[in-house]
Chain A
Amino acid sequence: MYGWHRKILVVDLTSGTFQEEALPGEVAHTWLGGRGLGTYWLYHHLEQGIDPLGADNHLVFAAGPLAGTRAPASGRVSASTKSPLTGTVFDSNAGGAFGVRLKSCGYEALVVTGRSASPVYLKVSPGTVSLEPAEALWGQDTRAAHRHLAGAGGPGSSVVCIGPAGENLVRFASVAVDGRRSLGRGGLGAVMGAKGLKGIVARGNMPTAIADPEGAGFVCYEMEKVLKANPVTSQALPEFGTAVLVNLLNQAGAWPAGNFRQSSFSGAEAISGEALAGSLMEKRFACYRCPIGCGRLTRTSRDRGEGPEYESIWALGANLGVEDLQVIAEANYLCNRLGLDTISTGGTLACAAELGLEADFGRPGVLLDLIEKIAFRRGVGDELAEGSRRLAEKYGRPELAMQVKGLELPAYDPRGLKGQGLAYATSNRGGCHLRANMLGPEILGTPKRVNRFAWAGKAGLVIVMQHTSAVLDSLVMCKFTSFALGDEHYARLLTRVTGEEYRPQDLQVIGERVWNLERLFNLREGFARADDTLPPRLTSTPVSDGPGRGQIVELEPMLGEYYRFREWDEHGRPTPAKLARLGLTEVGSGGDAV
Chain B
Amino acid sequence: MKLNINLFATLRKFAPPAARNGEFTLEVPKGVTIRELLRLCHLPEQSVTVVMVNGMVAPLGAPIEDEAQISIFPPLAGG
Q: Mark A residues whose CB is within 8 Å of B.
A: 230-232, 235-237, 239-245, 247-248, 251-253, 269, 273-274, 294, 310-311, 433-434, 437, 439-440, 443-446, 449, 452, 479-480, 483, 546-548
Contacts and interface: CB of A to CB of B under 8 A. Distances in A.
A273 B57 contact: no
Nearest to B23: A269
A245 B79 contact: yes
A236 B55 contact: no
A479 B75 CA distance: 17
Given A248-B50, A274-B22, 10 more contacts: A230-B75, A231-B47, A235-B74, A236-B74, A236-B77, A248-B76, A253-B55, A274-B9, A274-B21, A310-B79
A439 B56 contact: no
Contacts of A274: 8-9, 12, 21-22
Contacts of A434: 79
Given A245-B79, A252-B52, A269 B57 contact: no
Interface of B: 6, 8-10, 12, 21-22, 47, 49-50, 52, 54-57, 71, 73-79
A237 B56 contact: no
Contacts of B47: 231
B55 A244 contact: no
Given A248-B8, A248-B50, A444-B49, A236 B76 contact: yes
B62 to A, nearest CB: 13
B78 A242 contact: yes
Contact of B55 (A243, A433, A440, A546): A546
Instruction: Describe A's contact surface by its main secondary structure.
Output: helix
B52 A236 contact: no
Contacts of B54: 547
Contacts of B8: 247-248, 251, 274
B74 A251 contact: no
B2 to A, nearest CB: 19
Which of B52, B54, B57, B71 neighbours the largest number of chain A CB atoms within 10 Å of its CB?
A: B57
B21 A242 contact: no
Nearest to A277: B9
Which of B56, B74, B78 neighbours the largest number of chain A CB atoms within 10 Å of its CB?
A: B78
Contact of A445 (B6, B49, B79): B49
14 contacts: A236-B9, A237-B76, A239-B10, A240-B9, A241-B78, A244-B76, A251-B6, A251-B8, A274-B12, A310-B79, A440-B77, A443-B50, A483-B77, A547-B54
Contacts of B75: 230-232, 235-236
B74 A231 contact: yes
A479 B77 CA distance: 11
A208 B31 CA distance: 61
Which of A240, A248, A439, A480 neighbours the largest number of chain B CB atoms within 10 Å of its CB?
A: A248
Given A310-B78, A433-B79, A444-B50, A248 B73 contact: yes
A243 B78 contact: yes
B55 to A, nearest CB: 3
B19 to A, nearest CB: 12
Nearest to A230: B75
A236 B10 contact: yes
Which of B8, B56, B57, B77 neighbours the largest number of chain A CB atoms within 10 Å of its CB?
A: B77
B78 A244 contact: yes
A309 to B, nearest CB: 8
B55 A252 contact: yes
A414 to B, nearest CB: 15
Which of A252, A273, A310, A437 neighbours the largest number of chain B CB atoms within 10 Å of its CB?
A: A252
Contacts of A232: 75-77
Nearest to A411: B79
B60 to A, nearest CB: 11
Contacts of B56: 547
A248 B8 CA distance: 8
B52 A439 contact: no
Nearest to B6: A251
Nearest to A248: B73
Contact of B57 (A245, A445, A480): A445
A239 B77 CA distance: 12
Which of A230, A434, A449, A547 neighbours the largest number of chain B CB atoms within 10 Å of its CB?
A: A547
B74 A479 contact: no
Contacts of A239: 9-10
Given A274-B9, A449-B57, A251 B78 contact: no
A479 B79 contact: yes
Contact of B10 (A235, A252, A443): A235
**5 closest cross-chain pairs (CB), A and B:** A547-B55, A242-B78, A236-B76, A231-B75, A251-B71
Contacts of B12: 274
Nearest to B22: A274
